[in-house]
Chains A and B, each alone.
Chain A
Amino acid sequence: MTSQVDQSEAVDGSDGDGPAVPGRPASGRTAKPIRRLDRVIIRFAGDSGDGMQLTGDRFTSETAAFGNDLSTLPNFPAEIRAPAGTLPGVSSFQLHFADHDILTPGDAPDVLVAMNPAALKANLPDLPAGAEIIVNTDEFTKRALAKVGYPASPLEDGSLEAFRLHPVPLTTLTLEALKDSGLARKDAERAKNMFALGLLSWMYHRPTHGTELFLRQKFAKKPEIAEANVAAFRAGWNFGETTEDFAVSYEVPPAKLAPGTYRNISGNLALSYGLVAAGERSGLPVFLGSYPITPASDILHELSRHKNFGVRTFQAEDEIAGIGAALGAAFGGALGVTTTSGPGVALKSETIGLAVSLELPLVVVDIQRGGPSTGLPTKTEQADLLQAMFGRNGEAPVPVVAPATPAECFDAALDAARIALTYRTPVFLLSDGYLANGSEPWRLPAVDELPDLRVEFATEPNGADGSFRPYQRDPHTLARPWAVPGTPGLEHRIGGIEKQDGTGNISYDPANHDFMVRTRQAKVDNIDVPDVEVDDPSGAARVLVLGWGSTYGPITAAVRRVRADGGHVAQAHLRHLNPFPANLGAVLERYEKVIVPEMNLGQLALLLRARYLVDAQSYNQVRGLPFKAAQLADVLHAALGSLDAQETR
């Protein structure tokens, strides 16, 4: 495994198990030597007004166009413009790209671009020795240094000796490049992120055409701004080419991914497309009722753009109205969807219970974020699992689906719709902030091979006496008929009061209630979900690591490391949390030790213990950030070690 720096193992945040590629000069387009790498982790960091997310997005697009495998981690404050120059105001974007299959945005950056002292200070603890740091020296003023508690400039006091420092007056160089643009100084200065992007694009041989096209489209109405950004971008590229400080550039060849056509996609975009696809494949109009909330709003924005697919979006007055409208539309025969985050789920709980009682299809998307209460709106967590499972009054079971990667959000949306439509039930789709904003290459599916989600509405009375019985169930799925208004002869009334089996009439009968509660539970318990697959290549593993949701990347990366070190560890990942796959109990029994890493305090572990009487051991973190592969590898090594110790005792 090669990294940009020498101490490859210490620095190596690799989760790739591909062959090591020795660093070697390669011939290239520039006069400077080119070094070949198999993977790089870059972090752009600056003020929340410095445009770091845009810079990261653009570098990601260039990287995707180049054909690398990649994984990204945006990390930004909840405030739109946090106080300038402060530590809480730092916004960053980390990108890991490689010539092979990778799973995480990487543990530790090989390169940090720090646009000001705050960005340097906030990110320095994450840097391994030998990492490259590119700083904008123009921002290292006495005042800016003092603001973050630097008594002296770290650029001059020797404290950065362990790193390879590139001091670059980014602001000055940008202003110089734009001196003939006619832009005011303030406007010209704002292009400095594009200068940085240009420099990094040179360093890593990224294609530049896409960024120039993007800038001209984005600023189509302000051509002078567009040209200034393009000029700054090119100036950054030329700066790398000519200045002596940057002696080499790096090449990361395209990854050898499975054959197919690829695009880069974030979790929220994939999820949105999954919902559009579910509408197309079911033949039902999609109706989204939603209220803006971080980090779910992008789904509302995205679906609002696809009215030509018959998608209706409704920005409601509150979370409750969002799900209420979606449920009303479902009663009318639409594919009802509501999107939110944890606080919104809390508000929607009563309506989810109504949907359980009405037995109507509904997809409830929860893009989890740090909690409780408002918590950490822009950070990731997976602490809504128990809320999704149990957060309602009465016995109100709801199926739960959880994607493992950004691209998998597409399949999860289709699967959630399948379950909702087949079983006439609300379904939770649990994504999280990391999946939502992170991105990766996605191999485009063939549209005609997507699941067939067509449903049949009831058209005829189903009672022996010619009546319509809205709660007479399909014996196989236990789903009730979906009779939509406008169907003659099937007029019926349903509600949240307990219903008599079959007729759906109000019933307070004790035995009927007992029967209905058990039947609703049985319906969810019997949902068809695929068996959980266990990855245990040696067949010799005694330790199983079991995860769900977005921890898939770091867990898999950790497993690869342990195996590379000769350890035997089995891995399984749950996409269905309610019901659990039928084989899960048997899988758990096969291993002496079960480790469950979660970004909560042990919610899945609690369910596993309750359900299977297994001594599942939690490993938890609630830092608003994903696990690091190295951290989980240590946990797995320790688990293997403790088994060995037991034996030698």
Chain B
Amino acid sequence: MTDFPALRLVPKADGPQSAKDFKTDQEVRWCPGCGDYAILAAVQSFMPELGIRRENTVFVSGIGCSSRFPYYMNTYGMHSIHGRAPAIATGLAASRPDLSVWVVTGDGDALSIGGNHLIHALRRNVNLKILLFNNRIYGLTKGQYSPTSEVGKITKSTPMGSLDAPFNPLSLAIGAEATFVARTIDSDRQHLQSVLRAAAQHEGTALVEIYQNCNIFNDGAFEVLKEPGTRDEALIRLEHGQPVLVGAGHHVVRDGDGELRVAPRTEGTAIVHDAHAAGPSTAFALTRLADADTLHHTPIGVLRDVSRPVYDTQLTEQLARAEERQGRGDLAALLAGSSTWTVGE
């Protein structure tokens, strides 16, 4: 059984749980064929593995299609406001170390309106697991381009093509001092769950980008990564401690100037993936391998998983230390302060 050190303060479940335990009685209201269904099913069937009490699990979301997620998880949950879920979840996680707190967000929610909260949650390293459903489009507002849309995207709000360069969410996360950065794909349940497992084990904030298909407004955005004919050449499956290989005939090598490059196997030696490398440079370079337009050479798996002090743990420690030093607070003494005078009858 997997060990989850990040959950050591969360009460254990009394007995085994099943995916069914995590389903609610609410009708799921995503469009038929939406990638969110696959992610929901994958998460519901993964949760029992954590072995913690369902009532000590909380899903917090913002606004957007993905943010309906909490309604379908039979745990505690909050469907909040646009972009603010990381901030709300931070307050919850920082005050309740006995909870497993998950954030569900999308590319618009996390990277546009909520960009500030995302980067600060990452740098603070609060014990949060952030699932970023990236479909490279705005779904709930019916099809405008998003901060991850490719340049030139034709949408209702950009009839002549979008002009702004997209974010690479994983580059952004590493730049924001994230301690855990991973990517997976909605349709690959096994891979998705392996990444969720690694995220749940991680102490601190984990950012998991999940490529998710919006079959209404951006259908097939990740098809190249899913089609049996193209995926092997397009995907780079990262495994810690394993050489980084691409398809049957290529691998990733480090150039003389330190840059990473996809090269034929006959050329150079493949780098060996080290998710726990202290420095972020190689992980960052891996995030830059993919072509933003074609998604060729997209790495999936855990890019970075390093250890750094966790905000909420340290906050709790400060409280304990203050009480140790000063004793439990005495309200009457606090109110009186150091300088009083008495007026007699």
Contact = CB atoms under 8 A, between A and B. Distances in A.
Given A328-B90, A485-B56, A320 B84 contact: yes
A67 B341 CA distance: 7
A329 B329 contact: no
B50 to A, nearest CB: 15
B242 interface: no
Contacts of A624: none
A263 interface: yes
B212 to A, nearest CB: 21
B95 A444 contact: no
A328 B336 contact: no
B224 to A, nearest CB: 35
Contacts of B319: 307-308, 310, 312
A324 B84 contact: yes
Contact of B71 (A277, A496, A506): A506
A258 B77 CA distance: 52
Interface string A336-368: 100000000000001100100010000000000
Interface stretch (A382-390, A486-494, A559-567): A486-494
Contacts of A256: 343
A331 interface: yes
A330 B345 CA distance: 44
Contact of A332 (B26, B95, B329): B95
A488 B14 CA distance: 11
Contacts of B332: 444, 447
Contact of A354 (B81, B95, B96, B336): B81
Given A331-B78, A495-B79, A261 B120 contact: no
Contacts of B93: 328
Contact of B80 (A260, A285, A495): A495
A324 B87 contact: yes
Nearest to A258: B343
Q: Chain A binding site: helix, strand, loop or mixed by DSSP?
A: mixed
Which of B60, B96, B322, B328 has the most chain A CB atoms closer than 10 A to its own CB? B96
Contacts of B342: 260-262
B99 interface: yes
B91 A260 contact: no
A452 interface: no
B96 A486 contact: yes
A495 B11 CA distance: 26
Contacts of A308: 319, 322-323, 325-329
Contacts of B98: 486
A312 B95 contact: yes
Nearest to A495: B79
Given A259-B344, A262-B342, A310-B319, A326 B53 contact: no
A505 B26 CA distance: 8
A445 B334 CA distance: 12
A493 B87 contact: no
Contacts of A354: 80-81
A310 B316 CA distance: 9
A91 to B, nearest CB: 24
Interface in B182-230: none
A493 B341 contact: no
Interface string B31-73: 0000000000000000000000111111110000000001101
A210 interface: yes
Contacts, number: 206
A325 B79 contact: no
Nearest to B92: A328
Nearest to A330: B91
A497 interface: yes
Given A324-B88, A444-B336, A485-B96, A276 B331 contact: yes
B340 A262 contact: yes
Nearest to A489: B55
Of the listed residues A256, A308, A310, A358, the one surrounded by the most CB atoms of chain B closer than 10 A to its CB is A308
Contacts of B54: 488, 491
A332 B26 CA distance: 23
A332 B99 CA distance: 9
A494 B79 CA distance: 6
A329 B91 contact: yes
A314 interface: yes
A249 interface: no
Contacts of B56: 485-486
B343 A262 contact: yes
Nearest to B73: A493
A329 B327 contact: no
Contact of A445 (B74, B81, B321, B335): B335
Residue among B95, B327, B340, B342 facing the most chain A CB atoms (10 A cut-off): B95
Given A314-B91, A486-B96, A489-B55, A277 B79 contact: no
A306 to B, nearest CB: 6
A336 B87 CA distance: 13
B339 A61 contact: yes
A497 to B, nearest CB: 7
Contact of B331 (A261, A332, A447): A447
Contacts of A486: 11, 53, 55-56, 96, 98-99
A320 B11 CA distance: 31
B157 interface: no
Contact of B81 (A263, A350, A444): A350
A25 B235 CA distance: 96
Nearest to A289: B91
B343 A331 contact: no
Contact of A287 (B60, B91, B99): B91
A273 B345 contact: no
Contacts of A497: 79
Residue picked from A273, A310, A316, A491, most chain B C-beta under 10 Å: A491
A266 B332 CA distance: 17
A1 B77 CA distance: 65
A325 B88 contact: yes
Among A306, A307, A489, A490, residue most surrounded by chain B Cβ atoms (within 10 Å): A307
A136 B176 CA distance: 53
Given A256-B343, A312-B315, A334-B95, A358 B78 contact: yes
Instruction: Name the residue in B336, B339, B345 with the highest tally of chain A Cβ atoms < 10 Å from its Cβ.
Output: B339
A321 B116 contact: yes
A318 interface: yes
B310 to A, nearest CB: 14
Q: Which of A259, A280, A485 has the most CB of B within 10 A?
A: A485
B146 to A, nearest CB: 21
Nearest to B69: A493
8 contacts: A259-B344, A261-B336, A263-B337, A263-B341, A314-B315, A354-B81, A494-B78, A496-B81
Interface of B: 11, 24, 26, 53-60, 70-71, 73-81, 84, 87-96, 98-99, 116-117, 120, 315, 318-319, 321-323, 325-329, 331-332, 334-337, 339-345
A-B interface, 3 closest residue pairs, ranked by CB to CB distance from nearest:
A495-B79, A325-B91, A328-B91
Given A308-B319, A491-B77, 20 more contacts: A67-B341, A210-B339, A254-B343, A259-B345, A262-B343, A263-B337, A287-B94, A289-B87, A307-B323, A308-B327, A320-B117, A324-B87, A333-B96, A486-B96, A487-B55, A489-B55, A491-B55, A493-B77, A495-B71, A496-B79
